[in-house]
Amino acid sequence: MINFPLETINKYDGYNIRFEEWVPQLNVLAHESVKLFVTHGGMESIHEVLYVGKPSIIVPLFGDQHAKAVLSRDRGLGDFLNKNTMTSIDICKKVHNLIIDYGNRSSELYHNFYKMSRIVNYNLNSYKEIYNVLEMEMENGSQHLIPPSVSWIVANDADLWATIFAIISISVYAIWFAYKKLCSKQKEKVKTN
């Protein structure tokens, strides 16, 4: 890997770096030679990385990109660097670690990408595909569908289960109470006769 100051990246005229006005990013990412994607963490880039199933190093610049970078790392889909403190050594280490880890098909990174890529690439056009999605959800879980803003109680349906438990408990108590009243009235009738 070539070592150069980060400020000169746009001025560098190396033999293995090519600058273009526009390229079809998805086609480039899908190419078998591409092993890793360094991105700013925009939503489209994140989606494209998941679509092709390649790890990424995110260098967030502004807005929600930092949150996406942290989420990507926490989900085991890559890593991120701080644009203000990163060095060429940091970049080399992260690139090396991700490429080695992703190249190991038994690694957690590879399996995380496999699961997320299946989720992103699913098109629902028939009942059979809907069945396949449900089957995939049973295999992999559906944590990706629960937004971080949802509380633990709502995410795990604790409120629903508490309501069902309360209804069943009240019903059982009402039946038991009615049964006791009926039995005590019948005992009073038997005693008066």
Q: Are residue 139 and residue 85 in the same domain, yes or no?
A: yes
Counting the structural domains of the chain, the total is 2
Q: HSE (CB half, 13 Å, CA atoms) of 30?
A: 10
pLDDT of residue 26: 86
Q: How far apart are CA 133 and CA 85, in angstroms?
A: 42
Comparison of pLDDT for 167 and 141, the residue scoring more: 167
Tens digits of residue pLDDT in 107-133:
677 777 777 777 776 666 667 777 777
Tens digits of residue pLDDT in 26-62:
888 888 888 888 888 888 888 888 888 888 899 998 8
The rounded percent of the chain whose pLDDT value lies above 70 is 80
The domain spanning residue 93 has which CATH number?
A: 3.40.50.2000
- Banded pLDDT at 149 (limits 50, 70, 90): confident
Residue 84: CB atoms within 10 A of its CB come to 5
Q: Are residue 172 and residue 188 in the same domain, yes or no?
A: yes
Q: Are residue 39 and residue 12 in the same domain, yes or no?
A: yes
Domain contains 1: no
